[in-house]
Each structure stands twice: as C-alpha cells, then as structure tokens.
Amino acid sequence: MDVQHRPLLATADPLLLDDLLRLATAASTEVTVARTPDRALSLWPRVPLAVVGADLHAALRDADPPAGRHVVVSRDPRATATEGSRLLLLPRDESVLVDLIARAATPARAPAPTVSVVGGRGGAGASMVAVALALAGGRTGRSTALLDADPLGCGPDLYLGCDHDPSPGRRRTGWEDLLNRSGRVRWRDLSAGLPGTPRVSVLTWTHEREPTGPLPVGAARAVLSSAREGTDLVVADLPRSFDPATTVFLNRSDLVLLVVPADVPSVVAATRVLSRLRDEARAVRLVVRGARGELSADVVAHTLRVDLGADLPPEPGLARSLAAGDVPARHPRSPLARFADRVVSGLPSPEKVR
C-alpha cells in the first residue's frame, strides 16, 4: 500500500503506540507512524484516517490541521477531546478502532451483490443451484464467495470437486474455525485457506468433524460482511431452518431463490418456508425443477403465489455426470448454467465510490 494512503498513527507515547500497532496488526493493515506534530501535519492531508494520541492532540489542534477523518485515542479514562473530535478509550474501544483502521485502508465501494438459495424441501437441489451461480460469477470475471451455511448439507465443495486442501502444506479453513468469531475478518486473509476454483472460494464445513449445531450469528455476520466487502459476488447456500444466522443472510440478500421440484409434496413443503422468506427477504423468486405435464412451473408459481424466476427442465445427463464426479452447470447448453448466467448478468457490479 502507498505510504501516503495508509492510516496514520500520531503519538509520542511508546506504550500507546505499542497498543495502536497491535490493533493495526489485528486489522491486517499497514500504517504510517508520526511521533511529532510536524510529521503528522505533513502527512495528514493524504491519509484516509488519522489516529491521534491524546499526548499530541492539543498540539495538533492548535496547529489547525486540515479537515480530515480523525479520532483521538487515550489509555486514560479522564482524557477529553475537543468539539468535533471523537474520543476512543483503550482497551474499552479496541474493537471499534480495529474496524475503523481496517475500513480506512479499504477503498470504499458498494457491497457485493448477495444471492441466497433455499430448498423448498430437503434434496430440492439448492446446493447445485448455488454452485451454478458461483460458477457463473467466475465466468464473468467476478471474484465469488460461495458460503455454505447449512451444517447438515453435503457441501458445495463436493460438487466443485475441491473437497481437499486448498494447496499442499496449507491447512484448510472451515466454518468450525470461525464459530467463535464476532469481530472483523478480512476476506483476503480468510480466503487463503479456502478450497475452490481460481475465481470461486468456498467456505463450508469440514467433512471430518461433526457439526455441533447451527451457525452462530456472530460468525455469520462477520464472514458475510467480509465477503461482501472483499469479493464481487456472494452466493449463500442456506438451510431450511430460520435460526438467527440464516436470518442474517436473508436480511442482507439482494435476491433469494427458492428451489422447488415440480411435485405435490415439494409444493406443500415449500408453502411452510415461503411465509418466513417473505418476512425476512427483500426479493424472493421461485426456481422450479423438472416440471412436466399438468404441474407446470406456472402452476407451481401460481399455487405458491411467488414470482417465477426459472423453469428448469429435467437434465437427463445430470445424475450421470454427478455420479461420475463431473462439475454440474459447466456445459454451455445446460439449462442450469444458462439460468445462472442470466441471474448473474442481471446483478450490479460493486464499484468503488469516487
């Protein structure tokens, strides 16, 4: 990172500086240090954030620094800041400061569009649809996060053929490593341990370990925020439960796809899911699989009273391809691949705020 665009730490207090450098490390962010007011003033106009120690605050205030984003930091609970300056106390506000430093080092941009996929019943094919969407994102050049939030699912990594370590000698990261995480995590650091393809990173559950319960809401929030900030597309494969973590994904999704096979038991099961989806998601679309005869996709959509997103015809060779270990939705003639391409092409691309 260009020195001129790193967050600035301005303090002559060695103990406070040690604390600030530790927090910058926790934020995975390079910083610039100024130990005198003059040095701080020379850098101030070009930094995204100035973290000013209480020891230099008065001198810098009197020097009338240029307008810019800054906070005052102290280890003394008796410290005060002038009007217009935000005061953070350590250790009380450490997590707040870590988040400020990390965000200052990341160019501002709109969060990546997020699509969640839910099955109308067990075995509806939601994971395959999620994989197809992630592959479509990769085909358009988007860096894509595929998040498997269902601890009882088979795992989308199996469909992608990447159920192995991401690289020789590197330990694979799974949800189990993040269950107690509630603070900020940078996607750049997290994705290094994830399996996937060149443009798709998969966060799923480690197959060798037994899930202990639903995904904790803190971990869901931390990882989803990281993925939305660090990638161009997020695809979430969700369970049919409505635990707090699942609700986090639904609340933040731009689009939720409900996958329903075209048979009466599946439609009946889907009615139990839909009312909650409508309460929690901003946009819900129906994906009907294998419609034929009188129970057409339009009939299923009318029965469920939800907009039809796709009518996916049966793919005779799909089961054979899956049994052979082939990746689904890669062939350009695949109806599933064509549908995924259409969905992704209709999503906005995150752009940096200028």
Chunk the chain into consecutive blocks of 10 residues (it has 354) and report each block's average pLDDT, rounded to whole numbers: 74 96 89 94 90 93 77 89 84 91 77 95 91 93 94 82 54 80 76 87 80 83 91 95 94 96 94 92 94 90 95 75 66 85 88 44
Give one word for 28, left, alpha or beta, with left for phi > 0 and alpha for psi -120 to 50. Answer: left
Q: What pLDDT, on a 0 to 100 scale, did the predictor assign at position 319?
A: 63
Q: What pLDDT, on a 0 to 100 scale, did the predictor assign at position 318?
A: 66
What does the block give as tokens for 281?
């998601």
Name which of 296, 211, 231 is nearest 260 in CA terms.
Answer: 296
Q: Go through the domains of the chain in sequence order and give each one's CATH number.
A: 8-105 (3.40.50), 114-346 (3.40.50.300)
**DSSP 3-state of 100:** helix
Name which of 258, 326, 112 is nearest 199 in CA terms.
Answer: 112
Residues 6+ apart with CB under 8 A from 180: 216, 218, 219
Name which of 49, 97, 95 is nearest 73 in CA terms.
Answer: 97
**Dihedral of the CA atoms 113, 119, 125, 128 (nearest 10)?**
20
Q: What pLDDT, on a 0 to 100 scale, did the predictor assign at position 353?
A: 38
pTM for the whole structure: 0.74
